[in-house]
Structure 1
């Protein structure tokens, strides 16, 4: 079996884990804050990854200063800032509406490639971007027509969160690939990523505590723990996929999580959110657009 095929299988597994994470976060944020979700997620990530990486990779971790910097930046963008934005979007819009917007990250990845790396804008790339934007527009229109979401300025603010997550996730793979190119194994790189993001989160909590003058104790329930386990599985599958297959294969397959989330919300979250046919159309547009963007 070729490395690309194995990487594709890991990418599909990652998409499934992402969908489980998103649905569990939707249920967990009914009673808990986004900061609780992020704290639980980092706790499980560290509990699993640090000892496993420490034992499996010992004694040669193959870490260079450049690799540490690349994985740390990827962690701060993708595992810290993007998490906050995405989970806030889920809490305000619902999983079935936040996921297609977050899945627009190939638009930003393509933009970075064109502007910063000097890559050309092909017809296929332009068509993919158009489909992604159209899918996002369908979600925005659907959100306006749904009584369970906010309206006016509050709706625009809610829509901005998953879009911001897409922006940071679009930049994340560039640093991840740079780190893996140094020869660091995916497991060690992933651990560095999570440790850096966790330190950033602890710094944020300390700043909030100093600013507000009040202690904060994270809480968790079964949904937050389920989301944390699923996220840890996603991160492992994501790094294993990038180590074996090109971004052009991994990205569109991860985008299939959009279909999984919309289907899962329709089946299991009927009390929490209403999944409309328009959301199904938006999910298909987003997946097709992502595939064209990475091909272009």
Structure 2
């Protein structure tokens, strides 16, 4: 199998893992808080990745100071801040509405390229941006009329969480690519990423425990385990794809997870979310816009 095709295969696997994770998080937050979900996820991530990397990559792990810094920053931005915002969004407005808004993250990378690198705005790029913004506006409008979401100021606050997740997920790949460019193996990189996020989250838990004695409660919820394993698959496949294939190819493939989440919510989350034809159409418009943006 040619390397580009292998990279696309990993991107497809990452999209499937991301979709399963989002649906399982929605089911898990029926009975557990977002803090509980994230605590289990970091634990499962490390329990799976550390032994595998320790054996497979031994004795040359290929870590440099530059790659350590790059992957650690990616972990803080993507696996901690963005993860928290993303999961809070799922818990508050549902997976089917959070996912299309989170999918705005390619626009962040494009905006950075235009502003910082002085890249040119093409007609295709502008058309893609217009589609993404139109689809996102339709998602927001649909959320305002849905009986399963909050209303008024609370709804606008809830919508900020997936949008913030999109912001940090748009910055995250820059550091990921910098780390991979040093020659550090993808599995080592994703393990460093998770470990950095886990350290940051652990410090938060310690601060919270000292303040009010609260600790995560994670007993007996299979959906937290499913979400955690799916997240591990997603991150591992995502890094493997980026190591073999350009971001402009990986991003649109990963964007298909948005359609998978909305379809999955319509089938499996009928008791929690109301997936309308308007929401489905808006999601399709967002994905079409992303395809134009990343290929411009």
TM-score band w.r.t. shorter chain: over 0.9
Partner of 1:123: 123
Q: Distance in 2 between matches of 1:269 and 1:213?
A: 34
Partner of 2:184: 184
Partner of 1:217: 216
Q: Distance in 1 between matches of 2:204 and 2:113?
A: 30
Q: Distance in 2 between matches of 1:195 and 1:218?
A: 21
Per-residue deviation at 1:45? Answer: 0.4
Matched, 1:277 2:277: yes
Partner of 2:248: 248
Partner of 1:204: 204
Per-residue deviation at 1:120? Answer: 2.1
Partner of 1:17: 17
CA distances 1:114-166 after superposition (whole Å, capped 9, x unpaired) = 22233222222221111111111111000011111001100000100000000
Most deviating of 220-229 and 119-128: 119-128
Partner of 1:43: 43
Could you tell me whether the CA contact under 8 Å between 2:208 and 2:214 is conserved in 1? no
SS in 2 for 1:256: helix
SS in 2 for 1:48: helix
Per-residue deviation at 1:213? Answer: 3.0
Question: 1:46-195 to 2 correspondence within 5 Å?
Answer: 46-195=46-195
Per-residue deviation at 1:218? Answer: 3.3
Uncovered stretches (5+) of structure 2, i.e. residues with no partner: none
Could you tell me whether the CA contact under 8 Å between 2:41 and 2:225 is conserved in 1? yes
CA distances 1:40-93 after superposition (whole Å, capped 9, x unpaired) = 110110001111111111111111100000000001101000010000000000
Question: 1:24-39 to 2 correspondence within 5 Å?
Answer: 24-39=24-39
Uncovered stretches (5+) of structure 1, i.e. residues with no partner: none
Question: For residues 116 and 207 of structure 1, do their structure 2 counterparts lie closer, same or farther at Cα, with a shift above 3 Å needed?
Answer: farther
Q: Distance in 1 between matches of 2:89 and 2:147?
A: 16
Q: Distance in 2 between matches of 1:48 and 1:206?
A: 24
CA distances 1:195-242 after superposition (whole Å, capped 9, x unpaired) = 1110011011112223x2313133141011100010000011101110
Partner of 2:239: 239
**TM-score (structure 1 length as normaliser):** 0.97
Per-residue deviation at 1:295? Answer: 1.0
SS in 1 for 2:271: coil
After the TM superposition, which segments of 4 or more aligned residues of structure 1 sit over 4 Å from their partners?
A: none
Q: Distance in 2 between matches of 1:28 and 1:215?
A: 19
